[in-house]
Structures are given as structure tokens and as C-alpha cells.
């Protein structure tokens, strides 16, 4: 998780003697620090992009999770003009500012929207504008950047990434001009290791004091600093228009929360709605039947191969699912537990008997009765089209529906997180040894 910080002080258009930032104002009063995410509903490229699912989480959910978990902010806000975005924002722990029509137009700038927020909430002293399109943001990025304001007295901070790219002037068609280099001497091209590269804004965040916002025409002014993020975390959905590619980056480098397990050893999976699609087939003789997907049974075997015990959950109210679970036991060796209307009541005892922590448990449910377990488990998921309450409680929402590969998808997600945890543990071991 290495990140590098560089500082840059500018006069920036004659703004001399800019107000110094610190934890407290000049009066000694503790300053209110707010995170603000702008999420307009009128995205032209990808409709409602800000709440479109990316790797099982609404796009805006990635930065909200990082902001809330960082515990750096006195308040976390989403500024929006759309009802559905408002619902998602509140579900992920944010307050909502319904922006005015004047700053909701296609031509409205981010600065205008932020300044409107600043006028309406004068108690906020430092505004940390976090871009919703930066899903690989982590709490440690926010802390490192905010420290530059609260600890080192800067007025504005923005995120950058280091690029090693040679740039040339573009020649317009029909022009008699010729191209020439911007940042290199073609006769003395430096090797990458001999060149520091250039710092480029990556759009992840822009922090500024209220005093700067009230007096300036930019969030970059006064005494300026930048926070350098590593390239692997610098994902901008405005640029990475290939959603599947962005998903792979996020699955590897995104922030999945404070309680991500180091080693999942136990998974609970509802049979009805997760391994089945919720439909019951009736034969001519009146016999009830359900179908399962071979991808899902393969997903269970993948987990078992990596020493993850899979326990299937059924209900006395669903005898068909119970019969299916018994059949799956013969195929996969999974244990079956019958749970009541509140599965947590039954599973607390099981988790205790197995002497594991809930943070090392994965849970897959599909309805409102699963909310408690979805919240408690270190990793949790629901199939596509689950009820809103269950989706909001889950840490991962599958692209696939129940009975259509959702269990396999979640199994792959569990194994990916397990691999990440093992890699981090190995890196920590190496770091301690070198230290």
C-alpha cells in the first residue's frame, strides 16, 4: 500500500498570504471536515453511471465505503439531483444534499456545485471532494491527503499519478505546422529508470478549505500540495470506459471494507433463491421439481478444494429446497442446516461450535431475513435482483441470478479475496524480515 507524498507551494494568481490550514481554526474551534461526492443523474455516456453495479457494488458505493470507514470526516455527503442515487447514497451511510436545478445542468461545473454546498452548509470548514468515478480509492489515501491540510497547513490538496509517457504536439489536418516534442529530447531519450516521469491529475479527489473556496475560482489555490497515488489505484471510470476491464482492476485493487477476512474457512449458502432460481416445475403427476446449475456445484467444489467448508441452508417452509439440499449433500458432501425465519439465531451456535469469527465467514442469502447475517459476515453476497434491503446489506451483488451461476461467481470472489489476503500476509512477512 505504498503511496508517495510530494508538496508544491504556489502563489497561484497572486493569492498571497493564503489562510493557513490546521486541525483548528484561528479561534481555536475544531473545524468541521466533510467529504462530498457529486453524483448527478444525467450522465450522457452511461445512464445513471454513478449507481451502476461495478464488481458487485454500486460505483458510488466504492468511494462512500472508503470515506465512511476512514473515520476522518465529521460528515459524508452526496450531492445529487436524482431520487435513485439518493436512495443508494443513504444506504451506504451518506447524507444527501439535493442540489438546485441551477447546478444540475450539463454545463454546470463541479466548482459551482461545491460552492453551492459550501454556502448552504457554512459550518463545514474543509470540503473533501471525492470523485464517484474512482473506485480504487482506499482510506489510507484519504488520510494521507487530509493530513497535508490538517497537519501541515496546506489550503488545497489533489490526487496525482506518476506517468512515464513522452508527449508530442498534435498537428491538425491541413496545417503546415510540424510536430515537436513537449517533454523530451529525441536525440537523448532517457531510460525509464533515469527519468522521474510527470505528475498527472488522476481525478480521485480535490480537497480545499472553505476560505479558499469562497475567494477563489478553483479548488487548487493558496498553499497547494498534491498526494501521489500508485498507478494500480488510479482507476477513473470516465477514462476506463470498458466496464469489464475496470471491474478486474477493482476486484484486485479496490477497498472491500475494514472486516475483510484474512482467511474464509466457512460459507453458509441458502439453497432457495441462491442455488435455485425461485421457480418450481410441476410434472404431469403433480410432482414438484427445481433445477440447479452445474456451474454452481462446481463453485462449491472449488471452495472445498481450498479448505472452505460449505454449509447449505434450508427452511421447513420449503420442502423442495430441502430435498434438493439432501441430494446435493450426496454430490458434494455439504452439511445441511434447517434455519428459521431469522437464520442468525441458528447460525450463531454453529459459528461458536466451529470456533471461528464472523469476519472469517462468508454468507450468501437472497432475501430480507438474511440481512443480519449479510451484515455480520466478513464476505457476503446476494444474487442479481435480490430485494433492495438484502442488496444494501450485502458486500457483493452478483451479476448472475439465483440458479444461474451466482454461487459460482461468489465462490470465485471469495477465492480472489483469499488470494489477496495471502499475498498481503506474505508481503508483510517480507517487509518485517527486511526491517
- 3-state SS assignment for residue 310: strand
* CA dist., res. 396 & res. 8, Å (int): 39
CA distances in angstroms from 143 to 43, 113, 205, 309, 345, listed in the order given: 30, 24, 12, 37, 38
Q: How far is CA 182 from the centre of its chain?
A: 36
Residue 189 annotated as catalytic: yes
**Distance in angstroms (rounded) separating the CA atoms of residues 212 and 403:** 54
For residues 41-75, one letter each, b for 16 or more C-beta atoms within 10 angstroms of the residue's C-beta and e for the rest, the string is beeeeeebbbbebbbbbbbbbbbbbbbbbbebbee
Q: Which helix (H) or strand (E) holds 127?
A: strand 124-130
Cα 286 from Cα 281, distance rounded (Å): 9
Burial class (CB in 10 A: 0-12, 13-18, 19+), 302: middle
Q: Which is catalytic among the residues 4, 6, 119, 189?
A: 189
433: helix, strand or coil: helix
Just list the catalytic residues.
189
Amino acid at each position: 500500500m505504498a503511496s508517495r507524498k510530494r508538496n508544491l507551494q504556489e502563489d497561484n494568481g497572486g493569492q498571497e498570504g493564503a489562510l493557513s490550514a490546521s486541525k483548528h481554526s484561528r479561534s481555536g474551534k475544531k473545524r468541521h471536515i466533510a467529504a462530498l461526492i457529486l453524483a448527478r443523474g444525467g450522465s450522457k455516456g452511461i445512464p445513471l453511471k454513478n449507481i451502476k453495479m461495478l464488481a458487485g457494488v454500486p460505483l458510488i458505493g466504492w468511494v462512500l465505503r472508503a470515506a465512511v470507514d476512514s473515520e476522518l470526516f465529521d460528515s459524508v455527503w452526496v450531492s445529487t439531483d436524482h431520487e435513485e442515487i439518493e436512495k443508494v447514497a443513504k444506504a451506504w451511510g451518506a447524507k444527501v444534499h439535493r442540489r438546485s436545478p441551477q447546478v444540475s445542468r450539463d454545463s454546470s461545473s463541479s466548482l459551482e456545485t461545491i460552492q453551492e454546498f459550501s454556502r448552504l452548509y457554512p459550518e463545514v470548514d474543509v470540503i473533501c471532494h471525492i470523485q464517484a468515478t474512482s473506485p480504487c480509492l482506499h482510506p489510507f489515501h484519504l488520510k494521507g491527503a487530509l493530513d497535508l491540510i490538517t497537519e501541515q497547513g496546506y489550503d488545497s490538496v489533489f490526487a496525482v499519478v506518476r506517468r512515464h509517457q513522452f508527449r508530442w504536439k498534435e498537428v491538425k489536418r491541413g496545417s503546415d505546422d510540424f510536430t515537436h516534442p513537449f517533454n523530451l529530447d529525441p536525440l537523448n531519450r532517457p531510460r525509464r529508470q533515469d527519468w522521474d516521469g510527470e505528475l498527472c491529475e488522476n481525478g480521485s479527489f480535490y480537497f480545499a478549505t472553505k476560505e479558499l473556496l469562497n475567494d477563489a475560482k478553483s479548488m487548487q489555490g493558496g498553499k497547494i500540495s498534491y498526494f501521489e497515488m500508485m498507478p494500480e489505484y488510479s482507476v477513473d471510470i470516465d477514462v476506463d470506459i470498458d466496464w469489464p476491464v475496470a471491474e478486474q482492476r477493482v476486484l484486485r485493487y479496490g477497498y472491500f471494507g475494514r472486516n475483510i477476512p484474512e482467511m474464509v474457512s466457512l460459507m453458509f449458502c441458502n439453497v432457495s433463491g441462491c442455488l435455485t432460481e425461485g421457480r418450481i416445475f410441476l410434472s404431469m403427476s403433480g410432482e414438484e421439481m427445481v433445477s440447479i446449475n452445474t456451474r454452481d456445484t462446481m463453485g462449491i467444489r472449488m471452495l472445498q478444494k481450498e479448505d472452505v467448508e460449505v454449509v447449505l441452508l434450508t427452511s421447513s417452509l420449503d420442502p423442495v429446497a430441502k430435498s434438493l439440499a439432501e441430494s446435493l449433500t450426496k454430490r458434494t458432501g455439504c452439511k445441511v442446516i434447517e434455519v428459521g425465519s431469522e437464520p442468525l439465531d441458528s447460525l450463531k451456535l454453529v459459528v461458536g461450535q466451529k470456533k471461528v469469527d464472523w469476519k472469517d465467514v462468508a454468507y450468501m442469502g437472497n432475501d430480507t431475513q438474511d440481512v443480519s447475517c449479510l451484515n455480520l459476515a466478513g464476505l457476503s453476497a446476494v444474487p442479481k435482483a435480490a430485494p433492495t434491503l438484502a442488496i444494501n446489506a450485502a458486500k457483493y451483488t452478483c451479476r448472475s441470478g439465483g440458479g444461474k451461476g451466482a454461487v459460482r461467481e461468489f465462490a470465485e470472489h471469495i477465492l480472489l479475496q483469499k488470494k489477496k489476503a495471502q499475498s498481503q500476509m506474505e508481503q508483510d512477512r517480507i517487509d518485517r524480515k527486511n526491517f
